[in-house]
């Protein structure tokens, strides 16, 4: 036999023996418990910028603890497995949150604005009018069929289930776990579905969709139903402030409903600075685990950092990064909690991902340690870098977004005592940022294309990251469509 053939034969034999010894690349039923973390709009640039921002905070509190801010570590990035996820929807190159989260939860590719329905479901009629009236659905019969979710599959096996968010509990991401509707904006209808969905824990904002005008003047309900009372009659403990949640012994509660604001919960920056009586995402995660983790059959819990997305829509990078760090803290809290109950996470799968990207861009070429919210300082000279117009520019900018206009409401931040936005104009020439504090809470990053007023920035169509750890996590790798994440979680959890 020629030497080359002897070597090849030997190599093949070794490879075959190793293949026999290697563990199979599947994880059937390993995870009795699943915690699915969703950072809404948390694209790769947001993750990177948040890591650096965390490093800046760490160095301010503990000088010398890092070589530079870039060396900081996020809890989500400590998970052993990673993948890239394609996010396009059934009808959009760039998705909105409804079909993207629904793809994770059902494995079905849907049209924009559709929540956990079949792919033929439409959110609008033939003329383009949305199937909503106020915040009630007008979806016609026969417009698609419900698609079963991971939460429902887990419930069907007797596991406890829950959804926690910093948005309204009927917002697209949490709703995709338990509701089925042709148009995501039917918040009253989604709230009604939550009453009978069998969710053991539901926490976030959204009082105005659950309480009638008789007890809540800010109500958006078009009827007199008190959904909170209906859920209390079903055995739910109800809390509406952070202090009440903190005082609740959730280890003795079987069902928990927490509605802490009329609509969305506060940004983390404002919750802390303004002393809001609202729980943090980590607080809600802990209480949710107190309830669902007592089930010997296991649980499925979805936790969303939902306002990351809203800050990015507003091109307000500082609030987006603060909310991303609060989201990462919730991941750290959950992992520490489950390590005590399930050492080594041998029965618990942790998945962290985003539903879509945004248009935030990371500019070059800053020196190491330059403030992520600051202006670019050249890595060679250390001096402030200048654009072609001779003016400085920030590290973080947006491809598109909004600017304040003549309307008074567009000029101020209603969530921060109506303080004025600091927003460089988007006109024939750029504003000079030399003397501008770009780290101010209410600074809005520059935008390339002006789409209107603050809040009008669009999602981005790029792939997002996924991190996984614990039981069954090894099957999360490579690049995959968002619908395949459903299959992976289902496989790992044996659903």
pLDDT band, residue 2 (cuts 50/70/90) = very low
Q: What is residue 406's predicted lDDT score, i.e. its pLDDT?
A: 93
Residue 3 has pLDDT above 70, yes or no: no
Mean pLDDT of 414-419: 96
Of 13-27, 396-410, 452-466, the one with minimum mean pLDDT is 13-27
Q: What is residue 311's predicted lDDT score, i.e. its pLDDT?
A: 98
pLDDT band, residue 428 (cuts 50/70/90) = confident
Nearest to 132 by CA among 89, 170, 101: 170
Q: What is residue 170's predicted lDDT score, i.e. its pLDDT?
A: 98
SS3 breakdown of the chain: % helix, strand, coil, rounded to 5? 35, 20, 45
pLDDT band, residue 28 (cuts 50/70/90) = confident
Query: In angstroms, how far is CA 410 from the centroid of its own chain?
Result: 26
Render pLDDT for 268-317 as a digit per residue (tens, 0 to 9). Answer: 999 999 999 999 999 999 999 999 999 999 999 999 999 999 999 999 99
Burial status of residue 15 (CB atoms within 10 A of its CB: 0-12, 13-18, 19 or more): exposed
**Beta strand residue intervals within 260-368, DSSP E:** 299-305, 348-353, 357-358, 360-362
Residues 258, 279: contact at Cβ < 8 Å? Answer: yes
Mean pLDDT of 169-187: 98
Of 13-27, 209-223, 245-259, the one with minimum mean pLDDT is 13-27
Rg, the chain, Cα only: 24
Tokens of 251: 């280890």
**Beta strand residue intervals within 156-272, DSSP E:** 160-168, 201-205, 237-239, 256-259
Which of the following is catalytic: 69, 78, 89, 97?
Answer: 97
State the chain's mean pLDDT as an integer.
94
Q: What is residue 288's predicted lDDT score, i.e. its pLDDT?
A: 98
pTM of the prediction? 0.94
Residue 248 has pLDDT above 60, yes or no: yes
Mean pLDDT of 397-418: 96
Residues 79, 352: contact at Cβ < 8 Å? Answer: yes
Q: Could you give the CA distance from residue 431 to residue 468 in angstroms, rounded to a whole number? A: 43
Q: What is residue 25's predicted lDDT score, i.e. its pLDDT?
A: 52
Q: What is residue 26's predicted lDDT score, i.e. its pLDDT?
A: 63
pLDDT band, residue 338 (cuts 50/70/90) = very high
Q: Which helix (H) or strand (E) holds 450?
A: strand 447-452
Q: Could you give the CA distance from residue 51 to residue 373 in angstroms, rounded to a whole number? A: 12
Render pLDDT for 69-96 as a digit per residue (tens, 0 to 9). Answer: 999 999 999 999 999 999 999 999 999 9
Residue 7 has pLDDT above 90, yes or no: no
**Exposure on the CB side of residue 317, measured as CA atoms within 13 A:** 31
Tokens of 116: 């956990």
Tokens of 239: 């809390």
97 belongs to the catalytic site: yes
Residue 149 has pLDDT above 70, yes or no: yes
Tokens of 446: 């520059």
């Amino acid at each position: 036999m020629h030497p080359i053939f002897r070597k090849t034969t030997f190599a093949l034999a070794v490879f075959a023996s190793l293949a026999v010894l290697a563990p199979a690349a599947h994880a059937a039923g390993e995870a009795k418990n699943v915690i699915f973390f969703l950072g809404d709009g948390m694209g790769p640039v947001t993750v990177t910028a948040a890591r650096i921002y965390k490093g800046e905070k760490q160095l301010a509190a503990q000088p010398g603890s890092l070589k530079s801010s870039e060396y900081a570590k996020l809890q989500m990035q400590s998970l052993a497995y990673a993948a890239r996820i394609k996010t396009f929807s059934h009808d959009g190159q760039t998705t909105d949150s409804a079909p993207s989260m629904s793809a994770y939860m059902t494995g079905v590719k849907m049209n924009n604005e559709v929540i956990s329905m079949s792919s033929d479901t439409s959110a609008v009629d033939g003329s383009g009018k949305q199937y909503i009236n106020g915040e009630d659905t007008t979806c016609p019969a026969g417009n698609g069929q419900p698609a079963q979710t991971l939460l429902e599959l887990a419930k069907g096996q007797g596991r406890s289930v829950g959804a926690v968010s910093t948005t309204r509990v009927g917002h697209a991401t949490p709703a995709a776990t338990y509701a089925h509707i042709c148009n995501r904006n039917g918040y009253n209808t989604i709230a009604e579905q939550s009453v009978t969905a069998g969710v053991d824990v539901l926490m976030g904002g959204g009082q105005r969709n659950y309480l009638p005008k008789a007890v809540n003047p800010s109500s958006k309900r078009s009827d007199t139903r008190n959904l909170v009372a209906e859920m209390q009659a079903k055995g739910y403990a109800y809390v509406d402030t952070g202090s009440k949640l903190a005082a609740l012994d959730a280890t003795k509660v079987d069902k928990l409903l927490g509605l802490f604001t009329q609509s969305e919960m506060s940004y983390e920056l404002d919750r802390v600075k303004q002393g809001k009586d609202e729980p943090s995402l980590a607080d809600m995660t802990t209480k949710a685990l107190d309830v669902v983790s007592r089930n010997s059959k296991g649980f499925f819990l979805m936790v969303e950092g939902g306002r990351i997305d809203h800050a990015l829509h507003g091109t307000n990078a500082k609030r987006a990064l603060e909310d991303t760090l609060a989201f990462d803290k919730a991941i750290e809290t959950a992992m520490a909690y489950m390590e005590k109950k399930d050492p080594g996470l041998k029965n618990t799968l942790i998945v962290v991902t985003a539903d879509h990207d945004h248009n935030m861009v990371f500019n070059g070429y800053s020196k190491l340690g330059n403030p992520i919210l600051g202006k670019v300082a050249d890595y060679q000279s250390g001096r402030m870098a200048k654009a072609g117009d001779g003016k400085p520019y920030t590290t973080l900018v947006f491809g598109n977004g909004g600017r304040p206009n003549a309307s008074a409401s567009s000029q101020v931040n209603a969530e921060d005592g109506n303080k004025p936005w600091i927003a460089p104009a988007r006109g024939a020439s750029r504003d000079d940022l030399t003397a501008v504090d770009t780290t101010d809470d209410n600074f809005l990053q520059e935008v390339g294309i002006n789409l209107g007023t603050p809040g009008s920035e669009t999602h981005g169509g790029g792939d997002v990251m996924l991190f996984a750890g614990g039981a069954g996590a090894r099957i999360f790798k490579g690049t995959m469509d968002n619908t395949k994440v459903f299959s992976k979680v289902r496989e790992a959890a044996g659903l």
